[in-house]
Structure 1
Amino acid sequence: MDEVEQTGGPTSRRAVLRAGAGLAAGAAAGVAAPAPAAPATARAAGAEAGAGGPERSVVLTGRLDSGAPDFVYLPVEVPPGVREIAVAYSYDRPPVPPGTPGNACDIGIFDERGTALGGRGFRGWSGGFRQEFAISRSAATPGYLPGPVRPGTWHVVLGPYQVAPQGLNYRVEVTLRLGEPGPAFVPAYPPERARGRGRAWYRGDCHLHTVHSDGRRVPEEVAAGARAAGLDFIVSTDHNTPSSHGVWGPLAGPDLLIVLGEEVTTRNGHWLALGLPPGRFVDWRYRSRDDAFPRTAAQVRLHGGLVVPAHPFCPYVACQWKFGYRDSDAVEVWNGPWTYDDESAVDGWDARLVEAVRDGRHWLPAVGNSDAHSAPQVIGSPHTVVLAEDLTVADVLAGIRAGHSWLAESAAVQLEFTATGGGLQAGIGEVLTVPGQAPVDVRLTVAGVPGGTVRLITDEGQLHQESLPADGAGTVVWRTTASLASYVRAEVRHPRADGTPGRGNSMGPDLPWGPMAALTNPVFLHST
C-alpha cells in the first residue's frame, strides 16, 4: 500500500493502510478490452535529440467520470529501434467535501504481448506511488521489469481507484528514446537454501515491502533489518509486481533465507503469494464476483506456493477480505502493531477452527507478519516461528502449510506448547489421539513477556487463565480431556496500559485483554 509520512506508534502502519486505500495501491476487476473507457486525445511531438539519442513523445489526455472501469488501457504504438520507453503522468485533484472520495489513480504498463489476465505482457506496476517510470533492456524503475522494448502496441494502464464527483482529468506523456539497446539485465535470484540447523524452529517475516512497490526501504535495508531482528528467513511481497525478485540474490546468505513472493492487491482484499518461482507475476485485476481468484490461487499452488489472505479485517477501502477462505492455505491474523482489526481476525480465525473440527475439514493455520514499509515500522514485529525440516524454501512453506508454527512479537519472546496424554505427546499443529476421558496435560512454557497473561482457549472458548511473573518467564500446566476440548491453543498477552493484567489494553479500556505477545496454532485432541 502507498506510504505516508509516519509519526511512530501503533497507529502508524494503519495510516499506511488508510493511505494505500486512498491513493490507490493496486485496483482490481476483470480485464476489459485494451481501450480507454473515455476517448483519449493523443498529441505527438517531433523527434528531438536527447542525452542518449533522438526521442519521440506522445501526450495522451482524457477524462474519467465517476463509475469509470477499474482499468483504462491507453494504447501506445512503439516503432522498431526504441531503446527506452519512459512514462510520466498526472491528474487533477479537485477539492471534495469531507467524507467524499477524491481522485486517486494508479499506473502500470503492458507490452506488445497484450493485457490478458495472467498473460505474458505485464511489464510493471507502481500503483499511485510514482509519477514516472522508464523501461529498457538493461534497467527499469523499481516496480517495472527490464527487458527488450519490442515494437508493437503497448498499453499504459490507469487504475482509477477513486474518482471525485467532478471527474478525473489525466495527462500521460510517453517518451520513446531511440538507439541501440544496452546489455541485457541479468537477474540475481536468491538461493532456495540457507545454512539451517536441521529440524528446528525458524523465525521469519512473510510480509515486507521495498521501494519496488510502496516501501521506502531499499532491499539492502530490509535484509539488514531482518538480520537485526534475529530472523532466519523473510518473504519479499511487494505489491503487484515481481520486479524485486532479481535483486535479492546478493542479499541472501547462509544466515538468511530470502523467499520470493508478491502481495496481490485486489479491490476485494489483499493476499500474499508466498514461494513464487523467480520472476513469476501474479495478476490482481479481478473482484470477488469474478471467478479469477480460485484459478489464480490454483496457479500459485501448482508452483509450490502458498495463498495467504492478508490483514482480512483491515477497515479501509479494498483491504477487507471478500473472497472466502476455501482457496487459502493460511491466514494472516496479526499484521503489524496489535490493533482492533487483529482482534477481529483472531476471533474470525478461531470461529473457522470450530467449523473445521465440526465438519471434518482441513483447518486454516494462522500467521503473523510486520507488513513493514518504512521506519519506524519494525521488521519482524510480529513474525511467524515455523518448525521446518531445514532452512529451505520448500521446508519453510511446508511448515506454514501444516500449521507447525506460532506467532511472536519479537525474537525476545520464547515459547513451547505441547499436549501429553496416554503416553503420547503432540505439538503445535499436530493431533493427539487418546481415549475421550483420559487426562491430557497441556503445557505452555514462555519467556520474554513480563507480567503477561496466559490464555488457554478451546472450541468452548477460554478455559484457563494465568499470570506470568514480573520477569516474564514461567510454565503453565492445565489438564483437560479429548471429550471436553477438540483443540487447545494459547495466547500470551501483555498487561493493559495501566499495568493491570487482563483488564483492557492500550487500544481502549473496553477490551478485556492487553496486546498480543505470542499466539500459537492449535494442538488438536481426538478421542478414540
Structure 2
Amino acid sequence: MDEDALGHPAAPHGTPYDGSDGSRPSLPRRHLLGAGAAAVLAPLVFAAPARAAAAADPTGERTLTVTGHLPTGAPDFVHLPVEVPPGVREIAVSYSYDRPSVPPGTPGNSCDIGIFDERGVDLGGPGFRGWSGGFRTSFAISRSSATPGYLPGPVRAGTWHVVLGPYQVAPQGMDYRVEVALRFGPPGEPYRPSYPAERGRGRGRAWYRGDCHLHTVHSDGRRLPAEVVAGARAAGLDFIVSTDHNTSSSHGDWGPLAGPDLLVITGEEVTTRNGHWLALGVPPGEWVDWRYRARDGVHPRFAGRVRRAGGLVVPAHPHCPYVACQWKFGYREADAVEVWNGPWTFDDESALDGWDARLAESARGGGDTWLPAIGNSDAHSEPQPIGSPHTVVLAEDLTRRDVLAGIRAGRSWIAESAAMELEFTAAGDGRSAGIGERLTVPADAPVDVRLRVSGVPGGTVRILTDEGQMHQHSLPATGADTVTWRTTASLAGYVRAEVRHPRPDGGPGRGNSMGPDLPFGPMAALTNPILLTARG
C-alpha cells in the first residue's frame, strides 16, 4: 500500500479514512507484554464482555464495563481490545481511576486515555482515532462528529483498542474502570474537514511574527480555535502553528478561521515519555506517534518522517522540570530548539545556556551545523497570553514553506511582545550580515556589530560571543537606543544579542535564576547568532 509523507497508508487528501481497504495491522506483542502481568491481564479481562456486543440490539445501545489494576512498573501504554460489531453508529468511552493517598514527595496516580480503530495499534500505523491525555474523562466518535482531540469517521466493525497511558502509578498501584457504549443506528453524514491555506497576504521578503506553540480544546487547552486566532491577531502576529498534544483533530477547524492576515500552519506537540517536541508544518490531517522512549531508538524514524514532509523537528521546553518533559533524545534530529517557553523562568535560563554551549562548540569547529533557537508562548488558557514570547522570522513571503525555511535557517529572533523592535547586523571589510547569516572577513579586520532596539525601558543589552558576554549597555527610560561594539573574526566565532528587563524592585527578577550580583532581569528579546569566519 502507498504511504503518505508521514508513512501512513495513503488516503485521498483532506478526507477521513473510510476503511474500504479492509486493512487491520496486527497487534504487536510488545504492546501486550510490555511490562509484566498488568498489560496481559487487562485485555483478558476486557475481551469477554467486549465481544458480547455482537449480539446487541441493532437499534439500541450496549454498554461494556471493565475494571482492572495496574501495579507500579506498568507499561507506558495498555491497549484494551473492544470488539465492535457491524451497525455501530457511535462509540463512546468514559473512564476513571483511584487516587490513593501517597507520602509527601511521592507521585500519585495519573492516567491518560485515547483510542485506535480496527486498523490496529502499530507504532506509527494508520489506526489512530484520538487522544485526550488526562484532560477528559469521556469522549465519543461517530462518522460525522467527535469530541475534540478525536477524529470523526466511520465506526467500522473489528477490534478497536482503548489505550490507557498510566503516566504515574502510586506505590499502591492503580485501579481503573472503563465503560464503552456502542450505539447502533444509521451512520450519519461524513465529516468534512476545512484545512487552512498555506499562504497568507504577505509583504514579500520581510520579518514576520509568529507563535509556534499553542493549544486549544483539542488537547489540554481551554481556548476554542476561534479564540486562539482572535488572540493571535490581537497580539500582532502574522502566523501561528497549531500544536495540540498528540492529535491532529484541530487541523480541520482552522480553514474558515485563518485569513489573508493570519497564516495558520498545522502541527503537533509530540509528548513522548522522555520529552516533548514540536512537529511544525506536518501535512494537514496527519498525526505523529508519541508512544516511545529514548531507549526504544525510534525517534529518528518519526523525526525523519516529519522532515521528509517538509516540517521541522523542534525540542520543546527541554529543561522543563516536570515528569516526562525533560528532553532525553539529543539534538541530532532537531531543526531548531525552543529555548524560551512562556514567562521567562529558571528552566529557560538552563535551555539558553545549553543552546549557547552547543552553539560555541559548533562555531569553534567551523561548521554550519548550528541549531537555531525559537521562542513560543505555549499558551493553553486564559490568562496565558498568546504571542508572549513569539518568534520573528525573516521569510521570503508569508507562506508555510517560507516561514519554516526561515526558522530552519536561523533567520529569526525572539520577542516578548510585538512592542519589541530589533535590528542586529555585523559589518566588516565592505561586507555585512544579519541574523542567521555568515560574515567572512580577514581574521583581524574590524567587525562592527550594531544593535538597534526599542520597547524595553531601562533594560540591559548584552552582546555575547563564544567567549561569553563581551559588552553590556543600559537602555534609557525611553527603551530605545542603538548599541555598537567592535570585534574581529579571530576573536569571535559568532556574535548574538540579548535584551533584558531591569530587575524589579532591585531584586533578581520574577522567576529568574540570575544571581544577585547581576544587574539585569528576565529576557525581553534575544537573537540567533551572526556567524563570523576568518578568511585566509
Q: TM-score, normalised by structure 2?
A: 0.90
Q: CA–CA distance in 1 between the matches of 2:129 and 2:72?
A: 28
Asked whether the equivalents of residues 31 and 285 of structure 1 are also in contact (C-alpha less than 8 Å), the reply is no
Asked whether the equivalents of residues 313 and 336 of structure 2 are also in contact (C-alpha less than 8 Å), the reply is yes
Asked if 1:466 corresponds to 2:510, the answer is no
Q: Once superposed, what is the RMSD of the aligned Cα atoms?
A: 1.6
Asked whether the equivalents of residues 443 and 476 of structure 1 are also in contact (C-alpha less than 8 Å), the reply is yes
Q: Given the alignment, which residue of 486, 504, 510 partners 1:506?
A: 510
Q: Given the alignment, which residue of 332, 337, 342 partners 2:343?
A: 337
Unmatched 5+ residue regions in structure 2? 1-27
Unmatched 5+ residue regions in structure 1? 1-29
Asked whether the equivalents of residues 107 and 159 of structure 1 are also in contact (C-alpha less than 8 Å), the reply is yes
Q: Given the alignment, which residue of 434, 444, 460 partners 1:437?
A: 444
Q: Given the alignment, which residue of 121, 130, 142 partners 2:148?
A: 142
Q: Cα gap change, 1:411/1:388 in structure 2, threshold over 3 Å: closer, same or farther?
A: same
User: What's 2:281 paired with?
Assistant: 275
Q: CA–CA distance in 2 between the matches of 1:111 and 1:451?
A: 57
User: What's 2:413 paired with?
Assistant: 406
Q: CA–CA distance in 2 between the matches of 1:31 and 1:304?
A: 33
Q: Secondary structure at the match of 1:373?
A: coil
Asked whether the equivalents of residues 38 and 64 of structure 1 are also in contact (C-alpha less than 8 Å), the reply is no
User: What's 1:32 paired with?
Assistant: 30
User: What's 2:307 paired with?
Assistant: 301
Where does 1:2-17 land on structure 2 (aligned, <5 Å)?
A: none
Give the Å deviation of 1:358.
2.3
Q: CA–CA distance in 2 between the matches of 1:31 and 1:143?
A: 27
Asked whether the equivalents of residues 31 and 115 of structure 1 are also in contact (C-alpha less than 8 Å), the reply is no
Q: CA–CA distance in 2 between the matches of 1:327 and 1:393?
A: 21
User: What's 2:268 paired with?
Assistant: 262
Asked whether the equivalents of residues 31 and 71 of structure 1 are also in contact (C-alpha less than 8 Å), the reply is no
Task: Note the alpha carbon deviations across 1:39-82, whole angstroms, 9 max, x for none.
Answer: 233446888889xx411121111110000011111000000010
What is the identity, as a one-letter code, of the residue corresponding to 2:244? D
User: What's 1:245 paired with?
Assistant: 251
Where does 1:134-213 land on structure 2 (aligned, <5 Å)?
A: 134-213=140-219
Give the Å deviation of 1:33.
3.0
Q: CA–CA distance in 2 between the matches of 1:48 and 1:178?
A: 9
What is the identity, as a one-letter code, of the residue corresponding to 1:76? V
Where does 1:28-427 land on structure 2 (aligned, <5 Å)?
A: 32-34=30-32, 37-40=39-42, 41-42=45-46, 43=49, 53-359=59-365, 360-427=367-434
User: What's 1:452 paired with?
Assistant: 459
Where does 1:485-504 land on structure 2 (aligned, <5 Å)?
A: 485-499=492-506, 504=508
Asked whether the equivalents of residues 190 and 248 of structure 1 are also in contact (C-alpha less than 8 Å), the reply is yes
More divergent stretch after superposition (208-217 vs 507-516) = 507-516
Q: Secondary structure at the match of 2:221?
A: coil
Q: CA–CA distance in 2 between the matches of 1:328 and 1:33?
A: 28
Q: CA–CA distance in 1 between the matches of 2:123 and 2:364?
A: 38
User: What's 1:4 paired with?
Assistant: none
Give the Å deviation of 1:166.
1.1
Asked whether the equivalents of residues 31 and 78 of structure 2 are also in contact (C-alpha less than 8 Å), the reply is no
Give the Å deviation of 1:204.
0.1
Give the Å deviation of 1:507.
3.0
Q: CA–CA distance in 2 between the matches of 1:104 and 1:524?
A: 46
Q: Secondary structure at the match of 1:32?
A: helix
Task: Note the alpha carbon deviations across 1:416-462, whole angstroms, 9 max, x for none.
Answer: 00001111110000001110111110000001000010000000000
What is the identity percentage for the equivalent residue pairs of Structure 1 and Structure 2?
75
Q: CA–CA distance in 2 between the matches of 1:79 and 1:379?
A: 45
Asked whether the equivalents of residues 38 and 62 of structure 1 are also in contact (C-alpha less than 8 Å), the reply is no
Q: CA–CA distance in 1 between the matches of 2:94 and 2:375?
A: 37
Q: CA–CA distance in 2 between the matches of 1:32 and 1:56?
A: 31
Task: Note the alpha carbon deviations across 1:179-211, whole angstroms, 9 max, x for none.
Answer: 110010000000000000000000000000000
Asked whether the equivalents of residues 34 and 115 of structure 1 are also in contact (C-alpha less than 8 Å), the reply is no
Q: CA–CA distance in 2 between the matches of 1:471 and 1:135?
A: 55
Q: CA–CA distance in 2 between the matches of 1:405 and 1:297?
A: 22
Give the Å deviation of 1:129.
0.4
Q: Secondary structure at the match of 2:41?
A: coil
Q: CA–CA distance in 2 between the matches of 1:31 and 1:218?
A: 39
Q: Secondary structure at the match of 2:130?
A: strand
Q: CA–CA distance in 2 between the matches of 1:101 and 1:507?
A: 24
Q: CA–CA distance in 1 between the matches of 2:184 and 2:198?
A: 39
Q: CA–CA distance in 2 between the matches of 1:316 and 1:32?
A: 27
What is the identity, as a one-letter code, of the residue corresponding to 2:31? A
Give the Å deviation of 1:404.
0.1
Give the Å deviation of 1:34.
4.6
